[in-house]
Amino acid sequence: MTSANYLRPTSLGDALEAMATSSDARFVAGGTDLMVGLRKRRETCPTMISLRRVAELKGLEWTGDRLRIGAAMPLSDIVAQEAVGQKFPALAQSIAVLGSVQIRNVATLGGNLCNASPAADTAPALLAYDAQVELASINGTRQVALDEFFTGPGATQLRPGEILAAVLLQASPSAGSAFTRLGRVRMDLAQASAAALLEMKDGRCLRARVAVGAVAPTPLRLSGVEDLLQGSSLDPDTLAQAQRSVAGLISPISDLRASAVYRRRITPVLVKRAVVAAAQVAAGGKS
């Protein structure tokens, strides 16, 4: 389980330089997934580059309604900020059910995304917010839409030597959002999850974002559902049609947590719950 080399850079530049000069190194922030893999000998890591002392990867930066979250910021520190829960409630809700308190005190937002698990709890919420990720290397930075970041189970658009430096979000004062999930037991990975964001005006949906997790090779935006909701008054017939359309847009598998059949049946229910809750928030209520 041990790593032959453990590096502790204090700046992002030093961390990127260390990665560029080592062919067997891996970045580690919270390490909640990596350490399990090392203990069970599923993974090897001859060189660890710790990100815990890299200030550029920590903290929240607000510019009006735009938020930049440092990728190495612990999840519990993110939700401790009241403004996050107020402006991005679905994200706060997704973090609140992720693992245990002890895990949230160590795990980071960047780690949850870079692990690229189809069941990553924060991913559907961030997809609903049209999140962007900032990727850094010794050659500079680039921004990628989160719905293009995941390329498969455990796979992302990260290039060799790159690091996910930050997550970028834009709040919409007139929108409401919500997250919901289902798991076998508390602290387990989701059997299925859903998040929704709705922007409403005069009783009609101007903009809809709906995303799901644990029911496809990657966290997934449901553009077909969004198209049905946008322009509607969210009447019962529209909600029923949107709910029925979900099963044809996902590709769940059977595993130890749930069967594909169960996931295909429960995900439409979760989507409707998230949509209704988001509409309530947009109308001035509480999810």
Q: What is the CATH number of the domain that holds 20?
A: 3.30.43.10
According to the model, what pLDDT value does residue 4 have? 63
Residues 182, 277, single domain; the answer is yes
Residues 242, 261, single domain; the answer is yes
Quickly state the pLDDT bin for 43 (edges 50, 70, 90).
low
pLDDT digits (tens, 9 = 90+) for 83-127: 999 999 999 999 999 988 998 998 999 999 999 999 999 999 999
Domain boundary among 147, 170, 193: 170
33 falls within a domain: yes
Residues 72, 17, single domain; the answer is no
Residues 210, 261, single domain; the answer is yes
Strand pairing category for 47-50 and 5-7: parallel
Q: Report whether pLDDT(37) > 80.
A: no
Higher pLDDT, 47 or 250: 250
According to the model, what pLDDT value does residue 26 have? 84
Alpha helices in 145-200 (DSSP H): 146-149
DSSP codes, 13-31: HHHHHHHHT-SSEEEESS-
CA distance 91 to 109: 10
Alpha helices in the chain (DSSP H): 12-20, 34-39, 75-79, 82-87, 89-96, 101-106, 109-114, 122-128, 146-149, 223-229, 236-246, 260-282
What is the arrangement of strands in the sheet containing 132-137, beginning at the earlier edge strand?
A: 60-63, 66-70, 163-170, 132-137, 140-145
For the chain, the straight-line distance linking the first and the last C-alpha, in angstroms and rounded, comes to: 44
Residues 110, 128, single domain; the answer is yes
Q: Do 103 and 122 meet the contact criterion of CB atoms below 8 Å apart?
A: no
Residues 17, 93, single domain; the answer is no
81 falls within a domain: yes
Lowest mean pLDDT among 19-28, 42-51, 220-229: 42-51
Q: Do 60 and 67 meet the contact criterion of CB atoms below 8 Å apart?
A: yes
Domain boundary among 170, 197, 212: 170
Higher pLDDT, 108 or 287: 108
Residues 12, 87, single domain; the answer is no
pLDDT digits (tens, 9 = 90+) for 265-282: 999 999 999 999 999 999
Residues 259, 228, single domain; the answer is yes
The count of domains in the chain is 3
CA distance 5 to 46: 6
180 falls within a domain: yes
Residues 44, 99, single domain; the answer is no
Percent of the chain scored above 70 by pLDDT?
A: 91
Burial of 286 (0-12, 13-18, 19+ CB in 10 A): exposed
Residues 43, 90, single domain; the answer is no
Domain boundary among 170, 192, 226: 170
Q: Report whether pLDDT(189) > 90.
A: no
Is the model's pTM score more than 0.85?
A: yes
How much is the average pLDDT of 27-43? 62
Q: Which residues pair with 177 in a beta bridge?
A: 197
Residues 119, 73, single domain; the answer is yes
Residues 161, 192, single domain; the answer is no
Q: Which residues pair with 133 in a beta bridge?
A: 144, 167
Domain that holds residue 166: 60-170
| Residue 279 DSSP SS3 | helix
Residue 228: φ, ψ to 5°: -70, -35
Q: Which residues pair with 143 in a beta bridge?
A: 134
55 falls within a domain: no
Residue 250: φ, ψ to 5°: -115, 165
